[in-house]
Structure formats: C-alpha cells, structure tokens
Amino acid sequence: MATYLAFVAHRDDELNIAGTFMRLIDDGHRCVIACITNGSRGGLADRPEEERKRIAREEFDASTSIIGAETRWLDINEQDFPTSDGQMLARRRIFEVLCDVDPDCLILHPGPPLDKYDYHEHHWLAAQLPYAESYSASNPNYARPRGLRPMSIVPPVYHMCPIGTPMVPDRYVNITNYLDRKLEAASCYESQVAFLAEHDRVNFIEVHRAQSIVYGSYCGVPAAEGFCTSPAWNRLVAEAGLPE
C-alpha cells in the first residue's frame, strides 16, 4: 500500500482533501497530514497568542482524528512564515518530515503555475517549499549529512483545489460516502467558523459542502474533491495515484 503525505499551510486546510484521505485510509493506505503554521495569528483576536496556538492545535487534532490520518505539527509562527528566517526554519522541518515519512505521493497547495489562482501567500509557500525540498530529500548527499535516510523516490505531486479558487481539476475523487464525516471534521474548527463568518462573510462548513457538491456535478457523482496533477518534469503520475 502507498504512503500519501499532504503539507498544509494552516490547520483547517486539510479539509480540502479530507474525503480523499478518508477513502484512501479505508482502502488500507497510509495518510499523513503535516501542518506548517501553528495558528499564532488565526482569528481569536481577544485571546493571547499562546492560547490561539493551543486552540489551533486542539482543533487540528480533533479534525484529523475524524479523518483518521497521522499528523505532523511543524509549529511555525504565521507571522514568521513569510520571512527569510521563517522559511529557512520551515524548510528544515519540511525536509525532516519528508525523510521520516518517505511518501509515495505528495499532496500540496497549488504551486507554480497554479498558485496564481490561490488567495493566500502562506498557501503559495506551503506548496513551493515542500516541492523544492522533496527533490533534495531524495538525494543521499543532502539527507545523510543530516543523519537522515533519504526518501526512496522523488514523489509525484497532486495539487489540492482549495475553496475560493477558479482552478479546474484534472482529477476527481468520489467522496460521496465521506461527505458527512468531512463536514464533521470541519465542525471541529469552532474558532475558524466564527472568524471566517466575521472576516470573510462566509459559512465555513457550507462552503466545503457546496464545493464538494459542485465538483461532484463535474464528474457525475453527488460529492467529489478536485486535484490538479503537477505539470513539471518527473512529477507526473504514470499510474492512477488517487482513486477515481
């Protein structure tokens, strides 16, 4: 069975792939979700930073427990992530996760040229840094000097289609039987539901329901999640890497 590793910028971004990972896990595959930032600026403006981070981790753990995935928490402060120092720290931790998990397939936010469709700079970085590090992490000359075992392969990449983007997927996964559990996982994010209702004027849970239904309508099923295969050399999938 295969190992799938997803890097997400924020806790709650895993909901874009929650149904797919539930299905893969039920099929016997190993699925790991690595969250890069720690919620230090994620809503809850009336709470101190350490409390925001604690709540973010608790909500992420609750959501991923429903999904059934393994997790990694990279603990990068959101305000530091775009800085040079923050990116260097994130790169080191991403590299370590890659070598530790040794994935057969990577799931990332939209990367070049698809990142033009994404609205958040953290998402751009959360695609670009793992993409870059996943090539180096397969090279023994990079991994072994750090005391790490290199990845077995340069993994193929799928880019998730996040909410609020006009990306047109070229791969769909039927999640009809998992939609209710996906929305149950979304309901774990009480802080985000309140923040996004006020800040972005959206119903967080219903947006995920609606997108799943729309993607389902594209491919003739009640609910689906969408992905774009990486267009880069050596990152394409020769065989079906995700279920239909």
CB 225 within 8 A of CB 215: yes
pLDDT digits (tens, 9 = 90+) for 110-135: 977 767 777 788 999 999 999 999 99
- Of 47 and 44, more confident: 47
What's the rounded Cα separation, in Å, for the pair 12 and 4? 18
Q: What is the pLDDT of residue 244?
A: 64
Percentage of the chain lying above the pLDDT 70 cut: 97
Answer yes or no: is pLDDT of 239 > 70: no
**Average pLDDT for 204-212:** 93
Q: What is the pLDDT of residue 238?
A: 62
Q: Which domains occur in the chain, in start order?
A: 3-229 (3.40.50.10320)
| Cα separations in angstroms, 112 against 88, 108, 125, 136, 159 | 20, 11, 11, 18, 10
- Residue among 113, 158, 154 nearest 6 (CA): 158
**Average pLDDT for 86-98:** 97
Amino acid at 118: D
- Residue among 175, 238, 220 nearest 27 (CA): 175
- Of 98 and 43, more confident: 98
pLDDT band for position 240 (cuts 50, 70, 90): low
Q: What is the pLDDT of residue 235?
A: 77
Q: Is the pTM of this model over 0.75?
A: yes
CB 141 within 8 A of CB 186: no
pLDDT digits (tens, 9 = 90+) for 56-85: 999 999 999 999 999 999 999 999 999 999
* Phi and psi at residue 191, to the nearest 5°: -65, -40
